[in-house]
Chain A
Amino acid sequence: MTDARTAELRGFKEVQRLAYACAEAVAARLRPGVTEREAARMQREWLRARGVRDWFHLPFAWFGDRTAFAGFRIPLQFFPTGRRLEAGMPFILDLAPVHRGFTADVGYSGCLGPNRLHGKLLADLEAHRELILREVRERRSLREIYEDVDRLMVRQGYANRHRAYPFGVIAHKIDRVKERRWSPHVFGFGTQSLKGLAGDALHGHRDGWSPLWSPYRFSDHPPKPGLWAVEPHLGFRGTGAKFEEILVVTDSRDPEQSAFWLDDDLPHVRRWAEAV
């Protein structure tokens, strides 16, 4: 691996750590009565204070049965609402800051107080992290991997909730973003990042691949080298849990190097390790 490549990965790793640090800091400050809007603002302010000026998307916060996207029909329902947190309620913080031109997109699932069902969902996400990495290394088509994740969820007894995301994606490509003094966003998504995604989509359309990892035909291709923000999202009767982190896919012939998780020192991974 070249030095430039290593430096680039380090940049992504740093911003992903920053994003997870933000999620953990905000999660620790959540109390009964806090609204989704307040939680989203806390994330925004925390990251602004640490130099974040642009976003892939503005921070989201979902509480209670909104973690499982119960009754979601239109994309506007993803935006934070006045729903207040209560004891025992699950929550998800989803944030995607751009820092020094590097993008991260992370999802943090937590719960206010003990909730055994939520713990079970979180524990069951581990199998999905392993399955995705294994099948990406096998260079299976993204659509097939999507279907395998779907089947595993059904076998576990859960519903696939990433299907509710735009285009039903389980993952999307992320990339470096040019730093501009003015970085507007539309519908919560940074214009610079959207531009990058649109460019990828255009190129991909010509070459037969897509930056969106979906259940549809346009994702019927082997994994494309690059950085993918992978976000399997489980739902079970009003309780939802997800993780989101960066998967690095390269064109190396060595299976180990052909795909790997950017960072293995993340809250959900540490949690699984502690449980063992």
Chain B
Amino acid sequence: MRGNPLKIFFAVFIGLPIVATVILQLFGTVMMVSVAHQVQSGGSDADRPVKSKYKVDNVQGDRSLRAGFKALSNVSALSEDRQVSVSTQVALKDLLDPGEAKPDPDFAHVFVKARAPRLAKEECARLRKTLASECVVERATAGKAYDGLYRVSMTLNFIQRDSFGEVEQADTHSYHEIRERLPISGRTIKAMPASAGKKREALYAEAARLCSKLRASEGNCAIYHVQVSERADRKSSAVELSGHVRLSFLQKSAGF
């Protein structure tokens, strides 16, 4: 490149920054428009576009689109944005097949890890009975807990069984999330480890009822996260269950 040094100086230090600034501003404008029509999400789903037929003005979270919005935008597909997280406490004996001997103590925690996917599939069956039309296991693992119990953690993705509902016609909508404790009474539920599955099933059913109630009043509702955890009751051999459900829905924006 031959030329006046002064021209080169202006080109590099003045011209280039101006061009870069203009490009960035244009890019920003395009992105803002795109949020309303076809929103790009961040995080693990960063590169996956979320298409929504609704124009919504408050769905951007700290780093990405809110999970609940992504979940309601595509209610008929399995998604990592719609999940059930369960942390349960199990006794080793409850995982044995009929007539199966206990594993060597050094292999006990590995045994529970090996049986964790089986438990997660059973949990999917509970979800299908209560709130899901489809369910897949995303992850199932285990570790030692207390008093001879083992903690099994599982993450399940699901499609909700009940329909999303109706969204009132409007130019723009506002997005809402609700978090409710499970059970809704706020009290923990006690159960023996072997029967805790039935109690969890009841909590899932409660989550589905809460969503139905919301659908009745707001027209629509999506369950996008259910979390249930158990901890050992130090005074007995029972476990205590508690959790929460996160629901999302759309409303016609006020003032439009």
Q: Do A and B come from one complex?
A: no
Interface residues of A (CB under 8 A from B): none
Q: Which residues of B contact A (CB under 8 A)?
A: none
